[in-house]
A and B are shown apart, each in its own frame.
Chain A
Amino acid sequence: MTLLGQTLITGVLIGGIYAIIAIGMTLIMGVMKIINLVHGALMMVGMYVCLVLFKSFGLHPYIGMIPAMVILFGIGYFLQKYSIERVAGVETILPQSQVLLTLALALTITEIVRLIFSSDYQSTYTPFSSKCFYVGDMSISVPYLVSFVIAMAFVAGLHLFLTRTDLGRSVVATAQDKDAAIYMGVDAKRITNFTFGLGTALAAAGGALLLPVFYLFPDIWGPYLTKSFVITVLGGMGSTVGALSGGLLLGVAETFGATYWSPGYSNVVGLIIFLLVLLFLPGGLKTIIGR
């Protein structure tokens, strides 16, 4: 029973962090309708920005995440405006040239980071990182809990932004129907650039939340990229509520896989869920939740 509760709690806490990375992805994919493979690499860049702030100014990642988000917003905005958008309307033999471009960008960014910081594992370890408290027999890690709370605050703020402000509503409108949004006077190109920046900033926030508990190296992004795909497809493209529930679900499923099957296979659980959802529930949880 304790094991079950422990697994559940750890899964939910880590799932909250997955959710915030995946919400960035789901916004970008919802608005652009392309698969964005550069997301994980930009998350990694955000983590390195936090690391540099930590090493040189002693800023804790929870505070360093704010400048990191601003910087990554800019990087995402310009990457979309000057590189990805150029390929958008071009007729090619291979229909997926944009996807390939995002992948090539991801590899480029990884190599640049490797050149600057080398492949060594780094971390922002503080005594705070290993603190935990007990509820009954179950231990709850403080940094996980704090990260979870911050992530949920971001999700709530984002939800308000998307439903209550003009800019946020334009983003939602563009995601729902680009042509109709253009007829209503939305500058779809600007909104797309903005969304890419916003999604990237959210990825950076997720990365910063991971930093106190994990280590960091240039190739860290692969698993997080696949996780955010799984969550995006699971939740339904462009749906924040879907991504949140998908994130929590994936976190729990993975920890259950690690506890009751084998830690080596925990990533396979996510991939199996991914394939099943693609095949049997192509619209994702969005179709069940209804938004």
Chain B
Amino acid sequence: MTKKNWFLLAILGVVVVAIPPFLGSYFQHVLILIMMWVTMATAWNLLGGYCGQVSFGHAVFFGLGAYGGGLLHLHWGTSPWWGMIAGPLLAVIIGIPIGLITFRLRGAYFALAMLALGETFRIVFINWEPVTAGAVGMIFSRTWGAQKLPYYYIALAVAALSIYVVYRLVHSKYGYYFVSIREDQDAAEGLGIPTTKYKLYALIPSAFFTGLAGAVYMNYIAYIEPHSVFNLSAISIMMMLCVMLGGAGTLWGPVLGAAAYTILSEALRAGIGPLAYLIFPIIACLIIMFLPDGIIGDWGKIKRVFSRRKPVYAGGE
């Protein structure tokens, strides 16, 4: 990173730490949601954006992350905060066999297998009542009651940690391996990269941080049920759309996408009511059709439209 970028990062850091105490409760709530989505989008981006394994079932890890602490609380009465350890661990423990099985499949078939797994987990958690409490879900008591600031700082720390880990990973040997798998798996294998192993190395942190976001959600919302945490369209798909909106395969794309997505959905819901649910997928269609690499990935394209300069082709990025 250049000096200018460090400077910008420092300003961003000061803003996200110092400003929230002066905001109202509703804005703090929105900020917590943003931090949760930043964590999830960053985690998804590691597997999907860098490693090229588009998963339609990351809600599995989110749900397991939320249920890890929930199950401990239900059966042994421990504090839900143990979920911050148990949730991500559960997500990783279940994630490893899932990866070993599904990474044998490629591209669209991998996506479909993850979609099927996501649905399977949802149905099992609804029906396996003796263990999971079924569709009724679980309710917890919140440690800080109506106060939002502590939750915000926890969510912020989790988000910052996930960005840092992904940054370190993609700027190491692993990052180059991931990108080579995304670009051409056969060529990567030909160069001697054990692809299944490295896909798994991308999946483990991805599942861990998605699970951690799930644990934060469980502690903050204080109520979980299978339909909301294993949801296909509200969790798995939205993670993907955040990444696509910001830019897949970039470090700050998911952050920008998650922030834009949360603010947009809150503003639309406040502004036009139920119509927001229609506007949102339409925006998604338009992004995929016209900005397939996201705001950061297609920044050159956006600039060109506004400056009306001649298009630059080779090496434009």
Binding site for B on A (CB under 8 A): 34-35, 83, 86-87, 90, 92-97, 99-101, 103-105, 107-108, 111-112, 114-115, 222, 226, 229-230, 233, 262, 264-265, 267-268, 271-272, 274-275, 278-279, 282
A contact residues around B256 at 8 Å (CB): none
> B123, A35: Cβ atoms under 8 Å?
no
> A90, B292: Cβ atoms under 8 Å?
yes
Most interface-central of B244, B274, B284, B285 (chain A CB within 10 A): B285
- Distance from A25 Cβ to chain B, minimum over Cβ atoms (Å): 12
Q: Is B107 an interface residue (CB 8 A)?
A: yes
Q: Is B143 an interface residue (CB 8 A)?
A: no
Q: Is B17 an interface residue (CB 8 A)?
A: no
Pick from A101, A265, A275: contact of B116, CB below 8 A: A275
> B127, A264: Cβ atoms under 8 Å?
yes
> B285, A83: Cβ atoms under 8 Å?
yes
> A93, B289: Cβ atoms under 8 Å?
no
- Distance from B189 Cβ to chain A, minimum over Cβ atoms (Å): 17
> A96, B54: Cβ atoms under 8 Å?
yes
> A265, B113: Cβ atoms under 8 Å?
no
Bound complex: CA of A281 vs CA of B115, how far in Å? 19
Q: Is B105 an interface residue (CB 8 A)?
A: yes
Say whether chain B's binding surface is mostly helix, strand, loop, or mixed. Answer: helix
A contact residues around B233 at 8 Å (CB): 107
Q: Is B221 an interface residue (CB 8 A)?
A: no
* Residue of B whose beta carbon sits closest to that of A112: B278
A contact residues around B123 at 8 Å (CB): 264-265, 267-268, 271
Q: Is B164 an interface residue (CB 8 A)?
A: no
Bound complex: CA of A264 vs CA of B297, how far in Å? 44
Q: Is B232 an interface residue (CB 8 A)?
A: yes
Q: Is B109 an interface residue (CB 8 A)?
A: yes
A contact residues around B274 at 8 Å (CB): 115
Residue interface mask B179-218, A partner, CB < 8 A = 1: 0001000000000000000000000000000000000000
B contact residues around A92 at 8 Å (CB): 292-293
- Distance from A26 Cβ to chain B, minimum over Cβ atoms (Å): 14
> A94, B108: Cβ atoms under 8 Å?
no
- Distance from A66 Cβ to chain B, minimum over Cβ atoms (Å): 30
* Residue of B whose beta carbon sits closest to that of A84: B289
Bound complex: CA of A107 vs CA of B101, how far in Å? 29
Pick from A93, A99, A107, A278: contact of B281, CB below 8 A: A107
> B109, A115: Cβ atoms under 8 Å?
no
Bound complex: CA of A267 vs CA of B233, how far in Å? 18
Residue interface mask B26-54, A partner, CB < 8 A = 1: 00000000000000000000001100101
With A93-B293, A265-B127 in contact, do A100 and B244 touch (Cβ < 8 Å)?
A: yes
Q: What are 10 A-B pairs at a CB distance below 8 A?
A: A87-B288, A95-B54, A96-B54, A96-B108, A103-B237, A104-B288, A105-B281, A229-B112, A267-B123, A271-B116
> A279, B278: Cβ atoms under 8 Å?
no
> B232, A222: Cβ atoms under 8 Å?
yes
